[in-house]
Amino acid sequence: MDLLGATCGAFDLNNGCHGFLSALDVGARFVATGEGPVLIVASELITRDLLNPEDRRTFPLFGDGAAAVVIGPPNGRGALLSSIHRQRGDLMQWIYTPSASDPHEPKNRAHFTTNGQLIRSLVEEMLPQDVDAALEEAGLTMAQMDWVAPHQPNAVWLERLIVRLNLPSARVPRVVHRTANVPSAMVPFGLHELLHRAEGPKSGDHVLMMAIGAGVAYGAAVLRVD
């Protein structure tokens, strides 16, 4: 805040790979009550602090990165039409980052289950439910989605998700092959990719976003472009 020269309210919101969508929801509520504009910064340095560099299963999958988004009142038709968030604490042991105060975890490193197939199955079971809920809340269908910006843990998972959800493949930005998984920054990275396409989102287009991460926290949201 000091480097920005700002004295407005600020707080840290930690929710793993689902963090950006959580912050977008909170920020949109601030804007709706007249407290905007709101700056959202998704910053990830996971490879420096939380991963075990000797774990060949996980360490190569992640990268460091950051993204920033400013949201405010729309000038036209723009709106966050729906925002669905869920938490499965009973599944926490499969993907979690221990607290800095946990005496049993002195290195505070993220933990991943060894059963990758189980995680994929859970993702493919849980995310579609939230996508359906977000579409229903927005009063829209998947066929009406012009663009989709999903979380991208890895390229294989992304392609499986596209097939599982019957997403419009040509309207899904692929960035993970360049950035690796940059947890909370992954969805805004996808949005950035879309905005810089020659024929990217235009006013009135609908964008579906979704993410799942540690906790286990997951959800989906539908945005109408201003």
- Rg of the chain on CA atoms, in Å: 17
Q: How many domains does the chain have?
A: 1
Domain for residue 2, yes or no? no
3-class state of residue 32 by DSSP: helix
The answer to whether residue 17 is catalytic is yes
Active site residue 181: yes
Could you say which of 15, 18, 181, 206 is catalytic? 181
State in Å, rounded, how far the first CA of the chain is from the last one.
Answer: 28
Strand 206-213 versus strand 147-150 pairing type: parallel
The question of whether 151 is a catalytic residue gets the answer yes
What domain range includes position 90? 16-224
Tell me if 144 is assigned to some domain.
Answer: yes
How confident is the prediction along the chain (226 residues), in pLDDT tens digits per residue? 888 888 999 999 988 899 999 999 999 999 999 998 999 999 988 888 777 788 887 788 899 999 999 999 999 989 999 999 999 888 777 776 665 566 565 555 666 654 567 667 767 788 899 999 999 999 999 999 999 999 998 898 899 889 988 999 999 999 999 999 999 999 999 999 999 998 999 999 999 999 988 888 899 999 999 9
Whether residue 81 lies inside any domain: the answer is yes
User: Is 11 within a domain?
Assistant: no
**Residue 157: CATH number of its domain:** 3.40.47.10
Active-site annotation holder among 8, 104, 115, 151: 151
Q: List the catalytic residue out of 15, 17, 18, 206.
A: 17
